[in-house]
């Protein structure tokens, strides 16, 4: 098992609009992702605080990243995926809705460029949007595409 810092937990919020399933994704903030679009979006997720329960982590990180409460509803386990850097992401699906214009993202501090001694604050996510599943597959980081597949297997749209 990866050490605690190599795990994340998150929530894949989904809804149906005009008969078409959509998922909520956030474009990752910071200078590395600034000029990227396809493959640069993610579910709201983050690392646990110590021995924090993964569901609690997913709920906390959703709120921290988006600045909005987690919508009410039952979480459906989607399992785990391993991202290219080795981090394991555990996710849950949740049927719900929110207005991306209401998002007030949290921030993080990063030295950029690395080794420069200059630290700046960046938003956790710099954009949030709803995507139909076909488009979401292009936008989301590669490893998280499996979560979209599992969503369609576990949730009746």
Task: Give per-residue pLDDT as tens, 96-105.
Answer: 999 999 999 9
DSSP string for residues in 2-41: --GGGEEEEEEEEEEETTEEEEEEEEEPSTTTTT--TT-E
Q: List the beta bridge partners of residue 16.
A: 21
Binning pLDDT at 50, 70 and 90, where does residue 156 land?
confident
Binning pLDDT at 50, 70 and 90, where does residue 157 land?
confident
pLDDT in tens, 4-50: 459 999 999 999 999 999 999 999 999 999 999 999 999 999 999 99
């Amino acid at each position: 098992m990866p050490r605690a810092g190599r795990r994340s937990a998150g929530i894949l919020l989904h809804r149906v609009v005009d008969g078409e399933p959509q998922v909520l994704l956030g474009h990752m903030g910071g200078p590395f992702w600034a000029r990227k679009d396809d493959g640069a979006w993610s579910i709201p997720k983050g690392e646990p605080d110590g021995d924090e329960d993964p569901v609690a982590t997913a709920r906390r990180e959703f709120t921290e990243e988006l600045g909005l409460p987690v919508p009410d509803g039952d979480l459906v386990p989607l399992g785990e995926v391993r991202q290219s850097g080795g981090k394991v992401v555990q996710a849950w699906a949740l049927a719900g809705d929110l207005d991306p214009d209401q998002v007030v993202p949290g921030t993080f501090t990063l030295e950029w460029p690395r080794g420069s001694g200059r630290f700046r604050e960046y938003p956790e996510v710099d954009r949030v949007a709803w995507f139909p599943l076909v488009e979401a597959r292009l936008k989301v980081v590669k490893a998280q595409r499996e979560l979209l597949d599992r969503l369609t297997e576990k949730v009746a749209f």
